[in-house]
Structures are given as C-alpha cells and as structure tokens.
Copies of this chain bind each other. A is one copy, B any other.
C-alpha cells in the first residue's frame, strides 16, 4: 500500500522498557512542526483514564505541537498521581519541539490500575525526540508503538487535490483488538492532515466521522476507559482553513479514512477467525438500527455460532428482539452470506451444508437483517468469539 505522509509532521517510536520484549516499540511521538488545530472524541466511560481527562480539557483548540502515546499501561484508575503523570508526559512531548506544556496531548493504553513508570517514560520521550523523521517508516513506527495485543500495525493514508490545485494528505494510525465497543470514540487513534481547519469545524467533522466508523465497531462490548480519537490539522499544505466545497470534500475523505481505519480493529480482533459485517435495514431511525446492530454484534451466541460456521440464524433474530427497539416480528427477514434464511417472520428451508461452508470458507461474514418499520439503516462490524479470545483474556495481568 502506498503511504502518503502529510507535510509538517515528524514521527518516532522507541522501546523504553514498558514491554518485556526489547525488540517491541512501546512509546510513540508525533510532532507538528507547524502548530496544529486539534479535535478529539473520547470514551464515555465514567471511569476514564488520566490522559482522557487531560486531553478532554484541551481540545478542540489550536497551537498543538505534539502527541505522545504509550502502550502496556493505561494510566487509568491511578488517582491524582495518574493525572500529574499524564500532564507531565504531554508537557515533555511538546517541549521536544520547543512547545509549552499546554501544547501537548497524551494517550495511554494497557493494564488498568497500575502507575506509569515515569522514569522509563521520561527517557523514552527524550530518545524518541532524537530520531524524529518525516518518513513513512517513522509513521509506521508510531502505529507499532501503540500496539498491545494487536497482531499488526493499523494505518491508512489518503491524498486529494482541492479545486485550487493544492494537494492535501490525511494519514491515520489506530490500535485495538479487545475491550472494543466504542461509544464516542475508539481505543487509540490519531489522524493527521496538512490542511488547515478551524477548531469548531474540526471537532464537528471528527465527531460525525466517528459516528459512522469507530462508533460502529465492537469486539467484546466493553467500552474502554481510554478510548481516544484525535485529529491534527496543521495547514502545511493548505494554510487557509477549509470551507465550502473543500470542507465537504475533506469531510467525505475523512469519513472514508475513519471507516477504513476502524474496520482494521475487528479485522484484527483478539482471537477472531471472522470479520462480521452487519447491515441493518428498514428501521424507523438510524439510532434504532445502530442499537439493533450493536445488540447482535455483542451477542456471545451469535458470535460463537459464526466461529463454528453454524448457520444458527435463530440466535440473530432472537438477539434483535431484546434490543429494546419495538418492531413487528412478522416483517423481519434475514440473509446470511446472501442466503435467505428467514422471510417476513417465517423460516425459509435451506441447505445447512452449503450455508455452513460459506461461513467456514471465508473470513468475511455478512449478515443482512431487514425490518419493515422505515427506511433507516446502518453498517456495523464485529468479530466472532473464539476459544482463542478466551485464552488471550484469561491471563492478561498474571
């Protein structure tokens, strides 16, 4: 895949001793050489990490110089010291490029309830500042430094040319493989662009994009303490803040990038053997469709059936009936991988062997559930539930 790096950013990641394997990166630093507008959406979890508390007070805003992120320790449920540590991380990151303490942002992911080893973090930020680079490799390293149980780095870039001839670039990284059920954001993600945006516009664009992307994925239904999605816009390639047609084109590209990034998370879901795409149609409102999609996406019985290539469609229909959305069961129809299994409330005879094979032989599974209540729908992504997920999560801290 071609990697396009937006202008005016530099990247680095180092191993500072948080992960036990010294070959694994565990601290990422992104700097904006031109101060950037920043927007952010965050976890709605009442128990949120210290970095979320710090960043949420700063964005949307202008003049940001750096984002620092570490893996292996979430700095959540860590009391007053946790907040002071998060503030210090953000300050040290901004200071590496001459910024002040308020011009930094911070993200942490990993175990909850453990204090950050600040000596390692401090020397990690210094080490990272000495190898900052504007190359694709530096960019990829930052995606690697935030990985926890992810099996691969997750990134996406897009380039577009505006009507005025300026070419602008969007580049994003994200991480996450479990504790994934974002409600206002997802685990950790940073998107950078060299276009300029006003803070209010940036915030609105980011929130709308999150709504159709990071808020439409779930691995295990647990909304993390640390979900953070940041957008940086430094204007290096297009100094005038985007508006009108340009803003609209940018919004469309941002939405596409967010969706493509977000889907990488269930695609790499812990232990997953299937990426399940759930299309809900025929609802009264988009909110109804989303509630329904999430209920199905997070249902252990639906997820284990797909894992076992079992076309046990009753579990899907049954899950939809408990989502708290009123509908007429006689107007419900279901297709699984294109095979019609249930039509207007009645079962349709089908060849179990063929449908089962269509699940077993493809990593991608498609569920289309149609109601007769209206014209609203949604697309949602999730994983199956495998013995490997249970194994991975049975001994995370011990």
Chain A interface (Cβ within 8 Å of chain B)? 44-48, 74, 76-79, 111-115, 178-179, 181, 183, 220-225, 298-301, 304-305, 307-315, 317-322, 326-327, 329, 332, 341-342, 345-347, 352, 356, 385-387, 389-391, 393-398
Contact = CB atoms under 8 A, between A and B. Distances in A.
Contact of A391 (B76, B300, B387): B387
Contacts of A319: 222
Contact of A224 (B47, B318, B341, B352): B318
Nearest to A394: B308
Contact of A300 (B74, B220, B318): B220
Number of copies of this chain that the complex holds: 2
Nearest to A300: B220
A222 B322 contact: yes
A394 B224 contact: no
A43 to B, nearest CB: 8
A304 to B, nearest CB: 4
A308 B391 CA distance: 8
A308 B394 CA distance: 4
B222 A321 contact: no
A227 B135 CA distance: 59
Nearest to A221: B300
A113 B309 contact: no
Contact of A113 (B76, B178, B220, B342): B342
23 contacts: A46-B320, A46-B321, A46-B322, A46-B329, A47-B320, A48-B321, A77-B345, A78-B347, A111-B312, A111-B314, A112-B318, A114-B347, A179-B315, A220-B301, A223-B322, A225-B314, A225-B318, A300-B385, A305-B397, A312-B397, A352-B397, A387-B387, A387-B390
Given A222-B300, A317-B77, A342-B77, A394 B179 contact: no
Contacts of A112: 312, 314-315, 317-318
Contact of A321 (B45, B74, B111): B45
The 8 closest A-B pairs by CB, nearest first: A112-B314, A308-B394, A47-B321, A304-B393, A387-B387, A46-B321, A45-B321, A79-B346
B322 A44 contact: yes
A221 B319 CA distance: 10
A398 B318 contact: no
A179 B311 CA distance: 17
Given A221-B300, A312-B396, 6 more contacts: A46-B326, A47-B320, A113-B317, A221-B298, A225-B314, A311-B398
Contact of A327 (B46, B79, B113, B223): B46
A311 B315 CA distance: 32
A86 to B, nearest CB: 15
Nearest to A346: B79
Nearest to A326: B46
B318 A76 contact: yes
A193 B179 CA distance: 47
